[in-house]
Structure 1
Amino acid sequence: MKAKERSSMYLTKEEEAILEGEYGEALEIAMSVLVKMGDMYDADRMIEIENVHIDAASYATIYDAGLYFCEKFSKSGVIFKVPATLNASAIDFKRWRELHLPESLAKKQIKLAKAYRKMGAITTWTCAPYQYGANLRFGQNIAWGESNAVIFANSVVGARTNRFGDLVDVCAAIVGKVPRFGLYVDENRRGNILFKLDRLPVKSFSCSDYAALGFLIGSMTRTHVPILMDVPKSVTIDQLKFFGAAAATSGSVALCHICGITPEAKNLKEASGGAKPDEKISIDIRELNEVKEKLNTVGDKTPDIVALGCPHYSVEDLKKVAFLIRGKRVKKNVKLWIFTSRLARIIANDMGIVNLIEKTGGKVIADACPLYFPVERWGFKTLMTDSAKMAYYAPGLLKMDVIFKNTEECLRAAASDS
């Protein structure tokens, strides 16, 4: 049976040949996965992409089956056709022993890293590639995994990507193409639910306030593409990072038009494509405070660990921490762990920021995802964080109670005057 007869999508002769195995088994498998996805979502054709962010970078999320899949590709000699950055791993590659991580986990993560290096991956090991490692521009077609990275790429940069699941992203990097559906199509990018923030003091919002706002909007958006009015031009990249991560956690939000910020949404008319939004919602401070309360599973309590960096902290985030805890010491009964990318840690180390944090007793951890960090050996019971995403997932994934506070409150709980 010919490849064209097996798919409802239009395939070029080269794509058909790849699907028939004429370019080798690795490309055949990868193309087969992508074609099946395209048929599932009624895509009309394949489109070229310029880069990929691979979410399937942690052994703690893909396990032996995913490792086998990646090693099979690697051993075939296939090389990624487009640049491919890697999401956070299961370990800090330099400090995993110091952090009491299981050797069995480290060995398998290192094997996975070796497979990706052989295929030509860019070893960023971060969930925030838009800050360190990725080459993004407005209007380009990309294929990204990791929900916070997807919403940032679509909403802040104006690149185009759907939310790609683990290992589908690997296939996209091998082929250099993906099926055209969802947010690659103009009409699907039009905003259709309007959120007004004029009753909120957004100009004084912290990153955690933006996280709570994102969590609320994500929970109310359902299948819509949200539009935000009244976000100040002074909003920072890190605040947008916190917002997007939370919106993509409580809902399936992959694109949010922030009027005046999103490149294709300079105003409401552009954001909605000239159509009237299906719904208009004004958010007040009471609703925001309710979200913050719901993200806490316990009341005032001393945490065993304060974990910051979900998504990964930037150099500016780390600089803020160093400023806030200068002259203090981390309390004996509390751990302060701050997660970041290896590139951010290199820069922060060169600036003296890492030393300032670690001489207080805190740790700056690179490469790893705090949500999939095996902490059983530490016996932690209560976690405090400034991340709405981490606050939501930690009770289920890490089996810990959670306290959600802003960064300043987290650091007050972690450190005191020396």
Structure 2
Amino acid sequence: MSGISSLEGRSLVDGCASAPLLYAEVGLSFWGGVDPFSGEVIDRHHPLSGECLAGRVLAIPSGRGSCTGSSVLMELISNGHAPAALVLAEADEILTLGVLVAQTLFQRSLPVLCIGKEAFGQLRGKAFARVDGTGLSLYDSTPDDTPAPRNDRPTEDAHSSIELTAHDRALLDGSQGKAAQVAMQIVLRMAHIQGAKYLVDITQAHIDGCIYTGPASLRFAQQLVAWGAKVRVPTTLNSISVDQRRWRELGIDPALGVPASALGDAYMAMGAQLSFTCAPYLLDSAPKAGEQIVWAESNAVVYANSVLGARTLKYPDYLDICIALTGRAPLIGCHLEDQRKARLHIEVPPLSNLDDSFYPLLGYHIGALAGSRIPLISGLQQQHPILDDLKAFGAAFATTSAAALFHIAGVTPEALDPTRVIDGPLPVLKLSLEELRLSWQELNSARDARVDVVSLGNPHFSLSEFARLASLCQGRHRHPDVVLAITCGRTVLEQARAAGHIAVIEAFGAVIISDTCWCMLGEPVIPPAARNLMTNSGKYAHYAPGLVGRKVHFASLAECVDAACSATASGRLPQWLQAAASLENAPHV
């Protein structure tokens, strides 16, 4: 009989499962990190890369990255390729919500257990695990049999601990329609798991669930429409999975194009606006400081909280639309002033000669250091980062961090006076150039200088980015063997066209794609023979090797344009990083 140890935790979703244990010490983004059709871990930077989650007890500290992780997990549950159970060090709303929606709509589920950070390390080296409600049994080897599930687990009332208004109760009793009733049930289940005592009115929503992850994502939206779903607040839509107007022209397989376009239509049938952008902060409808909103899409959430000073959580896909249908959100986390304080102080060393590759690299590196903690970053005030810099920083930060907010001393609105975001002593981390150089190497996965595709617009391009790109492209032309494509929202596209930027960029030989984003694009926009991509996006440099199976060169926008003309990456380190390389190559005495 193999050795057995037992732990107790908090059941986020009840259930029982026994299976081989798959353990990692690093959080995992299911979107971009797990294939929704097979359950393979495709995040090539993750220690579980290449492993299959299907039928195993997956133990990770938490999720991270994209809000679409809930949709991927729901898809896996629906198609039979999900883990047997999830064991987490800390509660994760994105993954838990995916299970709750699958349970509500498809009557399929899996247990989710949170055991705390201290106990989590005891799973290392174990071969087999059994989850039964709040209990976790660990085995050194696969047992011959496991005990029958307990039948005495208490059931919890998701409503009893939350103060409801008369409006909330009307939604809950079905008098406002079936869609609103189901949405309110899901909102309250999540509020209970999150420990909320109250709900808050929200003024607007941004929906990330319009990304097509497979048949289950479309079934969910169409079921809401069939139940008469209508949003109760102004609602924008994230990028969908295709350029809705041009997907046939771009050669997209109808097996993706038809359902992905239909998914966008389903959300518009609920009353959402035709926006199709992952950068809703570029729209005139962007929220003001202090506004209570529900935004999903990880980069948008981080930007709204950090740069605009609005109030939102990193809402999972499907919880976003449920809140839009009810107008009510759990009053927790970044919705509360005292939950927006910094939990970590990161000092950036003095730097000079910065280019635009600095901010996505820094965001990527700091996100990994911060984990789920909100960081206060000092040392950048004299650099005067512009909004495009903060957009690039936030997107990369959201890729590697579970936090929904960052503060930059003297730059972001709540940290203009850094003492406002500090509540007691903070642990301090001092970054070195050498650490940043190692992250640069991690994002630069390509091993030869060839460049086949230049990918720009993750997140979607802003008007000022189009202006800068046009100035870099003026009087030049891309190499005939290189594809240069930019993704953007329709609103910004028309602004750039009116300003004359698009004519210059198209004369250069670039392709402009609206409605969708690089996280959803693949072949044939990326030619089948293409081997290496180049991008100035820290987010896409991380996700591309897993999403499209290509290696990546990461560099500044100017370097990307040069590479588009030469079909070759220079491989040069930016000036601000060369000091670290010089130190490494210096003779040792």
TM-score, scaled relative to structure 2: 0.67
What is the CA–CA distance in structure 2 between the aligned matches of 1:222 and 1:110, rounded to whole Å? 35
* 1:145 to 2:296 alignment: yes
* 1:135 to 2:286 alignment: yes
What is the CA–CA distance in structure 1 between the aligned matches of 2:351 and 2:301, rounded to whole Å? 26
Correspondence for 1:260 among 388, 410, 417: 410
* 1:319 to 2:467 alignment: yes
What is the CA–CA distance in structure 2 between the aligned matches of 1:153 and 1:44, rounded to whole Å? 24
What is the CA–CA distance in structure 2 between the aligned matches of 1:300 and 1:232, rounded to whole Å? 37
For the 8 Å contact 2:538–2:554, the answer to whether it is kept is yes
* 1:97 to 2:248 alignment: yes
Within 5 Å, give how 1:223-262 maps onto structure 2.
Answer: 223-232=372-381, 234-262=384-412
In the alignment, what sits opposite 2:194? 41
* Displacement after TM superposition at 1:133 (Å): 4.6
Q: Residues 416, 107 of structure 1: CA spacing in aligned structure 2 closer, same or farther, 3 A cutoff?
A: same
In the alignment, what sits opposite 2:96? none
What is the CA–CA distance in structure 2 between the aligned matches of 1:256 and 1:219, rounded to whole Å? 13
Within 5 Å, give how 1:11-410 maps onto structure 2.
Answer: 11-59=164-212, 61=213, 63-201=214-352, 204-232=353-381, 234-273=384-423, 275-277=424-426, 279-375=427-523, 378-379=527-528, 380-410=530-560
What is the CA–CA distance in structure 1 between the aligned matches of 2:158 and 2:438, rounded to whole Å? 53
Give the structure with the larger helix fraction.
Answer: 1
What is the CA–CA distance in structure 2 between the aligned matches of 1:161 and 1:173, rounded to whole Å? 13
What is the CA–CA distance in structure 1 between the aligned matches of 2:358 and 2:157, rounded to whole Å? 51
* Displacement after TM superposition at 1:350 (Å): 1.4
What is the CA–CA distance in structure 2 between the aligned matches of 1:159 and 1:362, rounded to whole Å? 35
For the 8 Å contact 1:200–1:284, the answer to whether it is kept is no
For the 8 Å contact 1:199–1:283, the answer to whether it is kept is no
What is the CA–CA distance in structure 2 between the aligned matches of 1:101 and 1:355, rounded to whole Å? 25
Instruction: Write the deviation string for residues 235-270 of structure 1: whole angstroms up to 9, x where unpaired.
Output: 111000000001111111211011222222222211
What is the CA–CA distance in structure 1 between the aligned matches of 2:381 and 2:159, rounded to whole Å? 50
Which moved further from structure 2: 79-88 or 184-193? 184-193
Structure 2 residue runs of 5 or longer lacking an equivalent are 1-155, 568-589
* 3-state SS in 1 of match to 2:244: coil
* Displacement after TM superposition at 1:416 (Å): 5.0
What is the CA–CA distance in structure 1 between the aligned matches of 2:516 and 2:275, rounded to whole Å? 11
What is the CA–CA distance in structure 2 between the aligned matches of 1:54 and 1:72, rounded to whole Å? 16
* Displacement after TM superposition at 1:384 (Å): 0.7
Which moved further from structure 2: 160-169 or 100-109? 100-109
Q: Residues 199, 120 of structure 1: CA spacing in aligned structure 2 closer, same or farther, 3 A cutoff?
A: same
Instruction: Write the deviation string for residues 343-382 of structure 1: whole angstroms up to 9, x where unpaired.
Output: 1111111122111111121111111111111325721321
Letter in 2 for 1:122: Q
* 3-state SS in 1 of match to 2:195: coil
RMSD, aligned α-carbons: 1.8
Structure 1 residue runs of 5 or longer lacking an equivalent are none
Structure number, greater radius of gyration: 2
* Displacement after TM superposition at 1:46 (Å): 0.8
* Displacement after TM superposition at 1:76 (Å): 3.2
Which moved further from structure 2: 70-79 or 17-26? 70-79
* Displacement after TM superposition at 1:65 (Å): 1.4
What is the CA–CA distance in structure 2 between the aligned matches of 1:333 and 1:150, rounded to whole Å? 37
Highest relative contact order (Cα 8 Å, sep 6+), 1 or 2? 1
What percentage of residue pairs aligned between the two structures are identical? 34
TM-score, scaled relative to structure 1: 0.94
